[in-house]
Amino acid sequence: MNRNSQKWGELPTLVLGQIYEYLEPRNRLNASLACKHWRSVLFQKRIARCDNLQGLRFQTNSVGLVPPGDISEESAIEALTFYGLDLLKALSRPQELKALTLASIKYDPSHYPMFSMENTLLQKCSTLQVLSLDYDTLTEELLHAIEILPLKKFLISVHGLDRHHRGISERAWSEFSANFNNIELIVSLIYAFEAVEVLQMNVEALEWMSINNNNTLKSIQWIDSAYKHSDKNIMDLFLRSGQDPFVMMSWRCKNLEEIVIHGYVLDPHNIVGISRLRGRTLKRLEVSMIDSTPTEASMDSFIEEINTLLGQKWEPLNLNNVHPALGYLPVPDDVRDEYVFDLMRRDISN
């Protein structure tokens, strides 16, 4: 080959090593910028020396993963969850894991891949305190397997209901409840269009929850877009029973601390009723749509009374200041996903 046509990036490794031997450390680094081949030779043991290195320590019991972009915007949450089982298998010290969050947001809530959890992998996480899963991965065997874990919080996300899913029996839930007396159980229905038969406010579901969980229910959040239900008035849904289920829930559930309702118009009289029943034990009361029938003066009176009953400054949220996903205008799917993802993170971290 003609000497003039020789490519610098094709120099033999032995030749490059001899060149580096003649260079000072700083000049070696500059030379290594030429190409990948030159850099590979730089890190050979006989060339890359650290004469002044006094100590080197690796922290191997923790690792931080910093994504280069917005994982919710890039639809990566679902993919990360799908490979969660492989990540769990790769852990060298699962017994030190404190939190495992595998609940996800589905790109298409009606069609998505599912994975099965290996119960023995969870049992190896002997100090696990926080766990989140999609309902699709939940089985009675898994519920039984995690009874040996010191769980303090368990979040279940419901998207769709697979017709092949065997469901969880009342007996299995009773055994789980008996084993975890003080666990915080969070059930989140996320875009569950197929799993929920009634897409508007489900009065029967609220009644069932308040009757069957009157000693344990601490929080209820019913969040929808005002855009989808801008012509729906929640008060119309209560005409059949003649009572507001949130008022009844406030009366029945002695440990209820949080009520969040977005996307529906509320009667201010009922909000006062909720405040009177829960009083200062209600740590959070958040609504954004109140019936505008009362005059401005009477609305101020309602708000003043609620402030007194709750023992804190309170007022309904202004729809102009809430997250765009809750407003009257349509928003892209990624905007809604961002809001839902923040809610899930808040549930896990609080």
Q: What pLDDT sits at residue 232?
A: 52
> What is the percentage of the chain residues whose pLDDT exceeds 70?
73
- pLDDT digits 0-9 by tens, 76-127: 455 566 666 777 788 888 888 898 888 777 655 566 666 677 888 889 999 9
Question: What SS3 class is residue 96?
Answer: helix
- pLDDT digits 0-9 by tens, 256-301: 999 999 888 888 989 999 999 999 999 999 998 887 766 666 888 9
How many Cβ atoms are within 10 Å of 47's Cβ, its own excluded?
A: 16
**pLDDT-derived band at 75, boundaries 50, 70, 90:** very low
Q: What pLDDT sits at residue 29?
A: 77
Q: What pLDDT sits at residue 314?
A: 94
Question: What SS3 class is residue 153?
Answer: strand
**Better-scored residue on pLDDT, 177 or 106:** 177
Q: What pLDDT sits at residue 310?
A: 95
> Which helix H or strand E contains 254, and what residues bound it?
none
Angstrom distance (rounded) from CA 201 to CA 222: 8
User: How much is the mean pLDDT over the chain?
Assistant: 78
Q: What pLDDT sits at residue 1?
A: 44
Most confident of 107-111, 170-174, 308-312: 308-312
- pLDDT digits 0-9 by tens, 13-72: 788 878 878 887 778 778 877 787 777 777 665 555 555 555 555 555 555 544 444 444
Q: What pLDDT sits at residue 188?
A: 85
Q: Which of 76, 189, 81, 155 is nearest to 350 (CA)?
A: 155
For the chain, how big is the Rg over CA atoms in Å? 29
Angstrom distance (rounded) from CA 67 to CA 40: 27
Per DSSP (E only), the strands in the chain are: 99-101, 130-134, 153-158, 184-189, 219-223, 258-262, 284-287
Angstrom distance (rounded) from CA 76 to CA 105: 9
Tokens at 269, concatenated: 């009289």
Q: What pLDDT sits at residue 199?
A: 52
Strands 284-287 and 184-189: unpaired
Q: Is the pLDDT of residue 330 over 90?
A: no
pTM above threshold 0.95: no
Query: Residue 201, CB half-sphere, CA atoms under 13 Å: how many?
Result: 26
Question: What SS3 class is residue 221?
Answer: strand
> What is the percentage of the chain residues whose pLDDT exceeds 90?
25
How many Cβ atoms are within 10 Å of 285's Cβ, its own excluded?
A: 21
Q: Which of 203, 258, 210, 204 is nearest to 234 (CA)?
A: 203
